[in-house]
Chain A
Amino acid sequence: EVQLVESGGGLVKPGGSLRLSCAASGFTFSSYSMNWVRQAPGKGLEWVSSISSSSSYIYYADSVKGRFTISRDNAKNSLYLQMNSLRAEDTAVYYCATARVRGSRAFDIWGQGTMVTVSS
């Protein structure tokens, strides 16, 4: 079964750090770009970051640039998001997603999400 499973969310104080993980299974992880998308409570979807299959290309939303770092370990079929200097506005469900549909860049597989709450 094709699956993405996020972990690492939780409650953190403003200014704190958190590292999210996304474990992939059921497909050739190393062949596809990976992405993080977040959704604040009651709000819409916000793209956060993308990383190419070999980590050669990395992109961030302006809202997280300089604070978040995306990375991947193809040997472990895992994606990561290191989040530093967290702010209240980073509170959201964080989803990892992959884009396996050739020529479309659409996110065809999503994880179940992990909640990050930034509060004192």
Chain B
Amino acid sequence: DIQMTQSPSSVSASVGDRVTITCRASQGISSWLAWYQQKPGKAPKLLIYAASSLQSGVPSRFSGSGSGTDFTLTISSLQPEDFATYYCQQANSFPQTFGQGTKVEIK
């Protein structure tokens, strides 16, 4: 199985900060990577697919990059509504696997 490792596990940031979350796959997954945002008590929301494609309706302050084994999610200017937990997911092969999550907290 492909293991997905996110870092950091949590980050404290202020409104307006640039935040970067990384995700590393235990083997190459090409660009079969997605990023999700989840708020407490809610279902996950797709932000980025195919490593760098912005899902329709998602603000442009979110961006994704990477291929192979190393990926990043960047929030260019953190907004109050962005405080949440973020997950990466590999869709290269079954079983599909998620990272352990990164909680973005208010500083």
Contacts and interface: CB of A to CB of B under 8 A. Distances in A.
B43 A111 contact: yes
Interface string B75-107: 000000000000101010011111111000000
Contacts, number: 67
Given A44-B100, A45-B98, A104 B43 contact: no
A47 B43 contact: no
B46 A44 contact: no
A32 interface: no
A88 interface: no
Contacts of A108: 46, 49, 55
Interface residues of B, number: 24
How would you classify the secondary structure of chain A's contact residues: helix, strand, loop or mixed? loop
Contacts of A45: 36, 38, 44, 87, 89, 98, 101
A47 B50 CA distance: 18
B27 interface: no
Interface in B1-58: 1, 32, 34, 36, 38, 43-46, 49-50, 53, 55
Interface of B: 1, 32, 34, 36, 38, 43-46, 49-50, 53, 55, 87, 89, 91, 94-101
Interface of A: 35, 37, 44-47, 50, 59-62, 95, 99, 101, 103-108, 110-113
Given A106-B50, A113-B43, 5 more contacts: A35-B96, A45-B38, A47-B97, A105-B32, A106-B49
